[in-house]
Structure 1
Amino acid sequence: MKPRLALATAVRVLRQVRHDPRTIVLLLVMPSLLIGLMAWIFVDTPVFGQVGPALLGLFPFVVMFLVTSITTLRERRSGTLERLMTLPVGKFDLIAGYAVAFGLLGTVQSLIAAGFSVWVCGLDVSSSAWLLVLVAVMNALLGTTLGLFASAFAATEFQVIQFMPAVVFPQILLGGIFIPRDQMPAFLSAVSDWLPLSHTIAALQDVSTKVDAAPDVLREVWILAAFTVAFLVLGSVTLRRRTP
């Protein structure tokens, strides 16, 4: 990997996003609006305090997955990636550049969503606030790299949307939002251990409910980092030229 080439790719992607205000709004504002809507719906009830941490992981993850996968797919279909791959740029450099660009956007998104959840919506955090931010940022990076990987298997934007029931919805159902994972049937509980969003939700719930959550949260963060690196590598492996 050549950091200079990856950085140049990241700068190019960020310049493109800068000229697309709808994407910027979707990335930076929409997760906070959805979290705020949930807090408003369940105002004066304990429900938001119970599901709020999970929502802080869910909404940014879904948004980053969609935006990253669709944007990368458009680059593939328009021939931009094809032209770039004729240059002395490695596949991992390209994928790393996209990951850096959308990772930066995801980091800003996570900071906004975490701050909005705590200071505006009143989400209780029993542990340190920096742990909440750390998990939120790792979750955004996870959604970014998963979107990069998923874009290799879609030919149209509609097919990207079709990945939602196959890739994202099972993680939502088995992530521990509706029922604790240890109360699920043994097989489903075992499957949930291998789903990255489950570890995001577990970490955010620990931050919200445990005073000394750092050891448990950092263990989950390392697992999320492993998933992120794996998706990044798989994304570079599946990046191929369409013409010889």
Structure 2
Amino acid sequence: MNPTLTLATARRILSQLRHDPRTVVMLVLVPSLLMVLLRYVFNSPLIFSRVAPALLGVFPFLIMFLITSVTTLRERTTTTLERLMTLPIGKLDVLFGYALAFGSVAVVQVAVAAGISVTWLGLEVSGSLWTLLLIAVLDALLGMALGLFVSAFATSEFQAIQFMPLFVLPQILLCGLFVPRGDMGWLLNWLSNVMPLSYAVDALSHVTRSTTFDATLTRNLLIVAACAIAALILGAATLRRRTP
């Protein structure tokens, strides 16, 4: 990897996003608006504090998956990526450049959503707020990495969105958001154990309930980070270099 080429790719993506204000608004504000809606749907600070931590990870995960998969597919179908691969630039430089750009947006996205949830909506966090932000950012990065990966298997933007029921919805249903994972049948519990979002939700729930940074929390963070990196590496494997 060449840091200069990686940063150049990230700057190009951020420049494109700057000229697309509607996408920026969606990326930054939609998770916060969904949290506000959730707070007043329940109309109870106690219920909100129980459900909101998991959704602080789920909403950025979902939105970053959608935006990244569609944006990357657009660059594939317009041959932008193919032209890049004719240059002396590594595959990981391209993919990690995308990750750095969308990751920067994810930091802003999660910071705004968490800030509103804690200061306005009454979300109570027993642990460190910085740990909460770290976990939520890792969730967003995981969604981004999976979006980069699945864009290789779609031929249209509509088809990219169709991958959401395969890669995203099962994780949301089995992550413990609706039913505790321990109460699921053995098959569903096993499936939840191999899905990275489950560990992210467990980590978020731990931070809101406890002040300790124990081995289980560390393990959950490492699993989510490792899955995001693995998705990026698999995404790099789908890029094909052409000779100019």
Fold equivalence (TM over 0.5): yes
Q: Aligned residue for 1:75?
A: 75
Other-structure match for 2:163 = 163
Distance in 2 between residues matched to 1:5 and 1:189, nearest whole Å: 42
- In the alignment, structure 1 segments of 5+ residues that lack a partner are none
Q: CA deviation at 1:115?
A: 0.9
> Aligned AA for 1:205?
S
Runs (4 or more) in structure 1 with deviation over 4 Å come to: 241-244
* C-alpha contact 2:10 2:97 (8 A) present in aligned 1: yes
Shift of 1:167: 0.9
Q: State whether structure 2 residue 104 is matched by structure 1 residue 127.
A: no
Q: Within 2, Cα distance between the matches of 1:207 and 1:142? A: 19
Provide, for residues 144-163 of structure 1, a one-character-per-residue CA deviation record: whole Å limited to 9, x for no partner.
Answer: 11110011111111111111
Letter in 2 for 1:182: G
The one-letter code of the counterpart of 1:22 is R
Superposed CA RMSD in Å reads 1.4
| Shift in alpha-carbon separation, 1:235–1:115, aligned structure 2, 3 A | same
Q: Is the 8 A contact 1:96 1:232 kept in 2?
A: yes
Tell me the distance in 2 between the aligned counterparts of 1:167 and 1:180.
21
Note the C-alpha offset of 1:208. 1.1
Q: 1:16 aligns to what SS in structure 2?
A: helix
Gaps of 5+ in 2: none
When structure 1 is superposed on structure 2, of 20-29 and 123-132 the one drifting more is 123-132
Shift of residue 51, structure 1, vs aligned partner? 0.9
Query: Structure 1 241/158 Cα, relative in aligned 2: closer, same or farther at 3 Å?
Result: farther
Count matched residues.
Answer: 244
Per the normalisation by structure 1, the TM-score is 0.96
Q: TM-score, normalised by structure 2?
A: 0.96
The corresponding residue for 1:59 is 59
- C-alpha distance in 2 between matches for 1:108 and 1:232: 21
SS at match of 2:87: coil
Cα displacement (A) at 1:214:
4.4
In 1, Cα distance between equivalents of 2:145 and 2:41: 32
Q: Is residue 76–residue 82 contact of structure 2 (8 Å, CA) maintained in 1?
A: yes
Corresponding residue of 1:104: 104
Measured in 1, the distance between the counterparts of 2:122 and 2:216 equals: 24
- 1:31 aligned residue: 31
Residue identity over aligned pairs, in percent, reads 55
SS of aligned partner of 2:179: coil
Q: Is the CA contact (8 Å cut-off) linking 1:27 and 1:109 kept in structure 2? A: yes
Q: Distance in 2 between matches of 1:75 and 1:59?
A: 24
